[in-house]
């Protein structure tokens, strides 16, 4: 159980004008599971490698339990990293791979064998000790890589895109496994992902990094309800952005006046709301009801996406296909935007 603090962490690679990671600050509670989320090249793996000690920061500090570890060699930090492409040693058996960290620590052979068996049991791969990495599927290899990291009981477990090389059903399976083991062992865990769904489902808290900067660090639901800025909202699937002014609990825009939640920021800004929170047709009642014209309707299987014009503004809505089955393009449709689902992004 280790508390991780990242203070002003910056990484600038030689020959590059922009910092890969810029002035990153993060507090990760002991025993929690945190996702570093962001698109490819945003600096999340760079951040993780700096925490592991595999990359030297240009500036800033990293603290484990309030003690700086910036000058401690990676092999003595106790931060074990699991890589995206498993990286099991191909010339070793599974038992040798899993027991590697213990052997390096000169642990007694009998204890290594016992710990290896226990940990393989934990990752639900019992009895594969004598097999070779090449004989395992991708999902099995990733579980072995996880076991190899867990067996040394690290202070901090760092998972770099642990699920991205796996197909859908394996991803779900391993996601649950990681969560279960993390809860059971209570190891402070940081994982990197570009998949927002994975971050939301798996993590206690999510840190969104865009262009090397931390945009928002919060519980997963906050990113949907109270995004920090337009880029954050867009990253989480936000599609509705309407310019106007927020004052006295009301948002004034070209499409009319809309009632806001009581904690909405005031001033010139952008109104945002999620497509799934737009109520349409019979469901549209109460406050913030508007008359719109249906301009586009796309069936997505389990959902239907609708484009609705209110004056010059286009609102995107997502609805249950059964609820909007009868609506036709160019038809007038009532919609409502419940105040609690609205948020204002001030500049």
Partner 1 sequence: MKWERVRIPLMLGPTMAIITILFFGSLGFGFLQSLGYQPQIGNTGFSLDAYYAVMFSERSASQFWPGLALTLWVASASTFISAALAVGLSLLLRRTFFGKKLAVFLFQLNLPIPHLVIAVGMLLLFAQSGLVARFAGELGIIDAPRDFPVLTRDPYGLGIILAYIWKEVAFFGIIVMAVLQSLGEDYEAVAQSLGANRWQRFRTVTLPLIMPGLMSASIIVFAFTFGTYEVPRILGVQHPKMLPVLALEYFLNPDLNARAEGMALSIIIAVIVFALVFLYMYVSARTVRKS
Site residues, partner 1 (CB under 8 A): 49, 52-54, 73-76, 79-81, 83, 85, 87, 89, 91, 93, 100-101, 104-105, 148-149, 152, 158
Beta pairing, strands 205-210 & 33-37: parallel
Closer to partner 1 by CB, 116 or 315: give it. Answer: 116
Of 181, 186, 178, 146, which Cα lies nearest the Cα of 30? 186
Closest CB to partner 1 among 85 and 243? Answer: 85
Give Cβ neighbours of residue 169 (< 8 Å, ≥ 6 apart): none
Q: CB of residue 256 vs partner 1: minimum separation in angstroms? A: 56
Pairing of strands 205-210, 279-280: unpaired
CB of 314 to partner 1, least distance (A): 46
Given a contact cutoff of 8 angstroms between Cβ atoms, the answer to whether 35 and 199 are in contact is: yes
Within 10 A of 104 (CB to CB), how many other CB atoms are there?
A: 10
Output 155 or 307, the one with its CB closest to partner 1. 155
With helix as H, strand as E and coil as C, how does 230-254 read? HHHHHHCCCCEEEEEEEECCEEEEC
Nearer to partner 1 by C-beta: 100 or 224? 100
Q: Which is nearer to partner 1, 79 or 306 (CB)?
A: 79
The smaller minimum CB distance to partner 1, of residues 44 and 148, is found at 148
Q: Which is nearer to partner 1, 153 or 266 (CB)?
A: 153
Shortest spacing between CB 101 and partner 1, in angstroms: 4
105 or 184: CB nearest partner 1: 105
Q: How far is the CB of 48 from partner 1 (least distance, A)?
A: 11
d(CA 341, CA 329): 26
User: 3-class DSSP state for residue 61?
Assistant: strand
Closest distance to partner 1 from the beta carbon of 107 (Å) = 11
User: Per DSSP, which regions of the chain are E strands?
Assistant: 4-11, 21-28, 33-37, 59-64, 67-68, 79-82, 156-160, 188-193, 205-210, 213-218, 240-247, 250-253, 256-259, 267-273, 279-280, 289-299, 304-310, 313-319, 332-336, 343-346
CB of 137 to partner 1, least distance (A): 20
Q: How far is the CB of 127 from partner 1 (least distance, A)?
A: 19
Q: How far is the CB of 91 from partner 1 (least distance, A)?
A: 5
Residues 6+ apart with CB under 8 A from 311: 254, 255
């Amino acid at each position: 159980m280790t508390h991780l603090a990242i203070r002003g962490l910056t990484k600038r690679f030689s020959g590059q004008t922009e910092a890969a990671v810029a002035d990153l600050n993060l507090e990760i509670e002991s025993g929690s599971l945190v996702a570093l989320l962001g698109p490819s090249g945003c600096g999340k793996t760079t951040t993780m490698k700096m925490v592991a000690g595999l990359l030297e920061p240009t500036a800033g500090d990293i603290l484990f339990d309030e003690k700086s570890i910036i000058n401690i060699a990676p092999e003595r930090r106790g931060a074990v990293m699991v890589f995206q492409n498993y990286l099991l040693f191909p010339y070793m058996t599974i038992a040798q791979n899993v027991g590697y960290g213990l052997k390096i620590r000169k642990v007694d052979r009998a204890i290594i064998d016992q710990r290896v068996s226990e940990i393989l049991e934990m990752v639900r791969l019992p009895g594969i000790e004598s097999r070779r990495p090449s004989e395992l599927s991708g999902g099995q290899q990733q579980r072995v890589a996880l076991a190899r990291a867990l067996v040394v009981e690290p202070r901090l477990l760092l998972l770099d895109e642990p699920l991205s090389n796996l197909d859908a059903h394996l991803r779900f399976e391993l996601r649950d496994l990681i969560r279960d083991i993390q809860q059971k062992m209570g190891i402070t865990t940081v994982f990197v992902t570009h998949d927002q769904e994975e971050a939301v489902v798996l993590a206690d808290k999510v840190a969104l990094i865009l262009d090397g900067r931390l945009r928002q660090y919060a519980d997963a639901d906050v990113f949907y309800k109270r995004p920090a800025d337009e880029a954050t909202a867009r990253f989480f699937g936000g599609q509705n952005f309407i310019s106007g002014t927020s004052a006295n609990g009301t948002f004034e825009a070209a499409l009319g006046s809309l009632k806001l939640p009581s904690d909405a920021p005031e001033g010139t800004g952008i109104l945002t709301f999620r497509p799934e929170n737009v109520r349409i047709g019979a469901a549209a009642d109460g406050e913030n009801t508007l008359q719109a014209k249906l301009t586009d309707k796309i069936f997505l299987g389990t959902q239907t996406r609708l484009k609705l014009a209110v004056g010059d503004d286009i609102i995107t809505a997502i609805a249950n296909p059964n609820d909007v089955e009868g609506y036709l393009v160019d038809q007038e449709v009532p919609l409502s935007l419940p105040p609690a689902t609205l948020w204002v992004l001030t500049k």
